[in-house]
Amino acid sequence: MEKKMKMKRVLITGGAGFLGSHLSDKFIGKGWEVIAMDNLSTGSLANVEHLLGHDRFHFVKQDVTEFIHVPGELDLVLHFASPASPIDYLEMPIQTLKVGSLGTHKALGVAKDKGARFLLASTSEVYGDPLIHPQKEDYWGNVNPVGMRGVYDEAKRFAEAITMAYNRYHGVETRIVRIFNTYGSRMRLNDGRALPAFMGQALRGEDITVFGDGSQTRSFTYVDDLVEGIYRLAMSDECEPVNIGNPQEVSILDFAKEIVELTGSESKIVFKDLPSDDPKVRQPNIDKAKQTLGWEPKVKRKDGLAKTLAYFKDAVYRNNQLELRIAG
């Protein structure tokens, strides 16, 4: 008789968020049982609606800063709960600090209790407004702790520190991914990030709001590439932080122009004040991911943006319908 393979179970905090929901898809696709936990403050059930009837998918509505109880065994905990856009953490500064600190502590506690591996979603924001370019994992960063972004940056820096402490002191198997700007379906239309803002504005024929003179740069990763990198890191032996991002760098002004062109919009670009501490440059050095995970991004920005446009067309349409209904 064929030997039955042991079921693998993963807890994904922030499982109904942009990245958490794509990770849920990935692990379901790999045959895992997925427990997605989310307090739905920035996540949405619409992101996992297609998984709700699946017998290996479970959704638990919970704030991970409170005690987490998960019945049964766990092999892996992916800690992805956190507001993650500048507007979100400006609106929810205390929650952002709490989920990065208390939430990471609780998620690590579950991993320790279950003997599960733990993977922390960290961020390129730990490098702050970087003085080293491109950013390598051994760069310690240039972060303003008391600025508006400090609540996110310092929470994630604390999260990395407590993750390493659980690794060293409690022997928990830990992984840390430093995620660079990522885009794709299920981003919120109004989360204030550059891509949803520009696509939404272009599709509605509104002015495109570029902050500052648009010379600041970012490097955008398509969500499928990111999720593959995270999966490989989770399965690897690497416990030090690893950058996962697409090194293809672009100025925000050029990025806005690309979106105007792609959408065929007549929107014009206007310039607004640059938010404080907005990093001037950002580009990952991904040598480590290439060497240790055999990973590098595959999706070119042109192709990723075209795929993402289909999602945003639908999102803008639904939003318009909603506004019409509210207006009566």
Does the protein bind ligand UDP through residue 122 (CB under 6 A)? no
The single residue among 209, 236, 292, 319 that binds ligand UDP, judged by CB under 6 A, is 209
156 binds ligand UDP per the rule CB under 6 A: no
155 binds ligand UDP (CB under 6 A): no
DSSP code per residue over 254-266: HHHHHHHHHHT--
- Is 218 a residue that touches ligand UDP (CB under 6 A)? yes
Is residue 311 within the footprint of ligand UDP (CB under 6 A)? Answer: no
Of the candidate residues 141, 164, 173, 211, the single one contacting ligand UDP (CB under 6 A): 211
Stretch that binds ligand UDP, among 22-30, 34-42, 204-212, 222-230 (CB under 6 A): 204-212
Which one, of 133, 142, 13, 148, lies nearest residue 85 by Cα?
148
Looking at residue 145, its amino acid is P
Name the DSSP letter for residue 206.
P
User: Would you say 38 or 88 has its CB closer to ligand UDP?
Assistant: 88
x-marked contacts with ligand UDP along 269-308 as a string, rule CB under 6 A? ------x--x------------------------------
Q: Would you say the C-alpha torsion 113, 66, 163, 218 has a positive or negative sign?
A: positive
Binding of ligand UDP by 139 (CB under 6 A): no
Q: Does 86 contact ligand UDP by CB under 6 A?
A: yes
**CB-based contacts of 323: which residues, under 8 Å, 6+ apart?**
none
List helix spans (H) across 74-178. Answer: 86-91, 93-98, 104-114, 150-170
How many residues are recorded in the chain?
Answer: 328
Choose, from 89, 127, 152, 183, the residue flagged as catalytic.
152
Residue 194 binds ligand UDP (CB under 6 A)? yes
Q: Does 101 bind ligand UDP (CB under 6 A)?
A: no
Instruction: Say how far apart CA 83 and CA 106 lie, in whole Å.
Output: 17
Q: CB-side exposure of 106: number of CA atoms within 13 Å?
A: 21
Pairing state between β 182-183 and 221-222 = parallel
Q: How far is the CB of 270 from ligand UDP (least distance, A)?
A: 10
Scanning 3-11, 48-56, 108-116, 203-211 for contacts with ligand UDP by CB under 6 A, the matching segment is 203-211
Piece of 30-38, 39-47, 62-70, 193-201 that binds ligand UDP (CB under 6 A)? 193-201
Rounded distance between C-alpha atoms, residue 9 and residue 6, angstroms: 10
Helix 18-29, helix 223-235: angle, nearest 10: 60
Q: Does 193 bind ligand UDP (CB under 6 A)?
A: yes
Nearest to 89 by CA among 126, 129, 41, 136: 41
- 152 belongs to the catalytic site: yes
Is 157 near ligand UDP (CB under 6 A)? no
In contact, 243 and 135? CB cutoff 8 Å: yes
Show which residues are catalytic: 152
Question: Would you tell me which residues interact with ligand UDP (CB under 6 A)?
Answer: 85-86, 181, 193-194, 197, 209-211, 216, 218, 252, 275, 278
